[in-house]
Chain A
Amino acid sequence: MGFSGRHLLGIEALSIEDILQILDLADSYVDLNRRKVKHSTALAGMTQVNMFFENSTRTQSSFELAGKRLGADVMNLEVDSSSVGKGETLIDTAMTLNAMRPDLLVVRHPHSGSVDLLAEKVDCSVVNAGDGRHEHPTQALLDALTIRRVRGAVEGLTVAICGDIQHSRVARSNLLLLSKLQNRIRMVGPKTLVPRVFEEFGVEIFDNMRDCLRDADVVMMLRLQKERMEGAFVPSMREYFHLFGLDADKLRSAKPDAIVMHPGPMNRGVEIDGALADDISRSVIQDQVEIGVAVRMAVLDLLARTRRSTADHSVPRELI
Chain B
Amino acid sequence: MDGTQTPPALLLHNARLICPESDTVGIGSLTIEGPRIAAVDVRPARSRKLHEFDCGGLYLAPGIVDIGVKIGEPGERHKESFGSAGRAAAAGGVTTMVTRPDTSPPIDNPETLQFFMRRASADSMVTIKPMASLTRGRAGSEVAEISLLRDVGAIAFSDCDSPVRDVSVFARCLSYCSQNDALVIGHPQDADLSRGAAATTGRFAALKGLPSVSPLAERMGLERDLAVVEMTGARYHADQITTAAALPPLARAIDQGLSVSAGTSIHHLTLNEHDIAGYRTFFKVKPPLRSESDRQAIIEAVADGRIGTISSMHTPQDEESKRLPFEAAASGAVAVETLLPAALRLFHSGDIGLPALFRALSLNPSRLLGLDTGRLAPGAPADLVLFDADIPFTLDRFELNSKSKNTPFDGQLLQGKVIRTYHQGQLIYRKPV
Contact = CB atoms under 8 A, between A and B. Distances in A.
Nearest to B276: A113
B249 interface: no
Interface in B185-228: 201-203, 206-211
Contacts, number: 62
A112 B210 contact: yes
A96 B324 CA distance: 16
Contacts of B323: 89, 91
A109 B325 contact: yes
Interface string B157-171: 000000000000000
B320 interface: yes
B27 interface: no
Contacts of B347: none
Contact of B201 (A90, A169, A197, A201): A197
A109 B327 CA distance: 12
Interface in A25-82: none
Contacts of B208: 112-113, 134
Main secondary structure of the interface of B (DSSP, over half): loop
Contacts of B202: 197
Nearest to A132: B209
A111 interface: yes
A195 B206 contact: yes
Interface in A176-227: 195, 197-198, 200-201
A169 B209 contact: yes
Most buried by A among B201, B209, B320, B324: B209
Interface in A84-126: 89-91, 109, 111-114, 116-117
A133 B328 CA distance: 14
Contact of B279 (A90, A113, A197): A113
B206 A197 contact: yes
A134 B327 CA distance: 12
Interface residues of B, number: 18
Nearest to B326: A113
A6 to B, nearest CB: 15
B273 to A, nearest CB: 12
Contacts of A164: none
Given A89-B320, A117-B279, A197-B201, A111 B327 contact: yes
Nearest to A53: B325
B326 A111 contact: yes
A113 B278 contact: yes
Given A113-B278, A134-B209, A197 B320 contact: no
A198 B206 contact: yes
A271 interface: no
A135 B278 CA distance: 13
Contacts of B278: 113, 116
A307 interface: no
Given A89-B320, A197-B201, A113 B325 contact: yes
A112 B325 contact: yes
Contact of B325 (A117, A172, A195, A197): A117
Nearest to B320: A89
A91 B327 CA distance: 15
B206 to A, nearest CB: 5
Contacts of B328: 111
A198 B278 CA distance: 20
Contacts of A12: 207
Interface string B210-248: 110000000000000000000000000000000000000
A297 B241 CA distance: 51
A169 B326 CA distance: 16
A36 B311 CA distance: 69
Interface of A: 12, 89-91, 109, 111-114, 116-117, 131-135, 169, 172, 195, 197-198, 200-201
Interface of B: 201-203, 206-211, 278-279, 320, 323-328
The 9 closest A-B pairs by CB, nearest first: A113-B279, A134-B209, A133-B209, A111-B325, A114-B325, A112-B209, A197-B206, A111-B327, A113-B326
22 contacts: A12-B207, A89-B320, A90-B324, A91-B323, A91-B324, A111-B325, A111-B326, A113-B208, A113-B279, A116-B279, A117-B326, A131-B209, A132-B325, A133-B211, A134-B209, A134-B210, A135-B209, A172-B207, A172-B209, A195-B206, A197-B202, A198-B206
